[in-house]
Amino acid sequence: MKAWIIEEQKPVEKYPLKLVEIPDPHPGPGQIRIKVVACGVCRTDAHIAEGDLPLHKRPVVPGHEIVGIVDEIGEGVKRFKIGDRAGVTWLNYACGTCKYCRAGKENICENAKFTGWDVDGGYAEYHVVDERFALHLPEDRSFEELAPWMCPGVAGYRAFKLTGLSKGQKLGLYGFGPSATYILQVAKHLGIEVFVITRSEKNKEAAMKLGADWVGGYEDKLPVKLDGSILFPPVGKLVAFALSQLDKGGRLVLGPVTMTPVVIDDYDLLWHERHIVSLANVSREDGKEFIEIASKIDIKMDIEVFPFEGAPEALIKTRHSKQRGTAVLKIVET
């Protein structure tokens, strides 16, 4: 099969992706093979390509927003049949036996494997995965639309769940990329007020169109204190700023995979039981819940589709946030 691989980490402008032919994978017991129709392009792919995250496998096929059609099944498979739609997220495997899995926290499993990092991902024509870690996909959405559900959608939903907010409360979103776009729509559906803080005029306009209750920049004064917030820019100095806008008992969720140094030099920002928690990976339950709610509310996202051969361009655009909405590779025609 054709696949893009990373062997050497270097800036995306120096083309760390290399297009090669590798043997077709085949499923073992309990596994399914997905003929990949589309795969989203994520900032984490750029972190792996450039060395912000170390290579766990060399070479590795990146990509963890995989959607396609099951075309081969291994012995004992029960959840899927040939022809079913299936998706794969960042979490490719969890052991089920470590203390975190036993506590319902498989997202931080001690023995977890991650798609496009520990195992080959979706910048390829086929992907093999344990059927337990594949998600059923709705039939009434295009594969291009579904691909980003697998990361900015599911990860954004998990970040939202970590805030613990419910109807009538106030949520702040710092930065307004793909994950925040999904979160805004989910939160509004659940009756939560949403306040968006972003520098981008384009993103301010997009947030207003999607129903944000207030939109402004970092220099603008919020009209209220927030019950919870999610910070997306990987800028550590913004942590203290976001904390200053939280109400008592509020929770700040940190979304970035990597971040510049975080400095909080005023204890009053943490006083009155304010919390900080990081987003770490996703679980299968997050995926199932997000797919259910996204299907129900006709969730929207701008998508820029690239041909399979355009993966290097898509990665460069994503690294510098120059893509329209979120970038998706079209692997095969259906």
Domains present along the chain, CATH in parentheses? 2-150+302-330 (3.90.180.10), 154-278 (3.40.50.720)
Mean pLDDT of 185-194: 98
Q: Following DSSP, what letter does each residue of 6-18 receive, concatenated?
A: ESS---GGG--EE
Does residue 201 have a pLDDT over 90? Answer: yes
pLDDT at 239: 97
Reported as a single tens digit per residue, the pLDDT across 203-229 is 999 999 999 999 999 999 999 999 999
Calpha distance 189→210 (Å, rounded):
11
pLDDT at 196: 98
Banded model confidence at residue 324, pLDDT cuts 50, 70, 90: confident
- By the 8 A CB rule, do 267 and 239 touch? no
User: Of 312, 284, 41, 38, nearest to 152 (Cα)?
Assistant: 41
Banded model confidence at residue 322, pLDDT cuts 50, 70, 90: confident
Distances (CA, A) of 112 to 127, 257, 281: 18, 16, 10
Structure tokens at 328: 């998706």
Mean pLDDT of 8-16: 97
Banded model confidence at residue 334, pLDDT cuts 50, 70, 90: low
pTM: 0.94
pLDDT at 213: 98
Banded model confidence at residue 321, pLDDT cuts 50, 70, 90: confident
Reported as a single tens digit per residue, the pLDDT across 140-176 is 999 999 999 999 999 999 999 999 999 999 999 999 9
Does residue 63 have a pLDDT over 70? Answer: yes
The 3-state DSSP composition of the chain as helix, strand, coil percent (nearest 5) reads 30, 25, 45
The DSSP symbol for 60 reads: B
Mean pLDDT of 110-135: 98
Mean pLDDT of 13-24: 97
pLDDT at 233: 93
Hey, what long-range contacts does 245-252 have (CB within 8 A, 24 or more apart)? 245/172, 246/172, 246/274, 247/170, 248/272, 248/273, 248/274, 249/273, 249/274, 249/275, 250/225, 250/226, 250/274, 250/275, 251/162, 251/163, 251/164, 251/275, 251/276, 251/277, 252/228, 252/276, 252/277
226 SS3 class: strand
Average pLDDT, the chain: 96
Q: What percent of the chain has pLDDT over 90?
A: 96
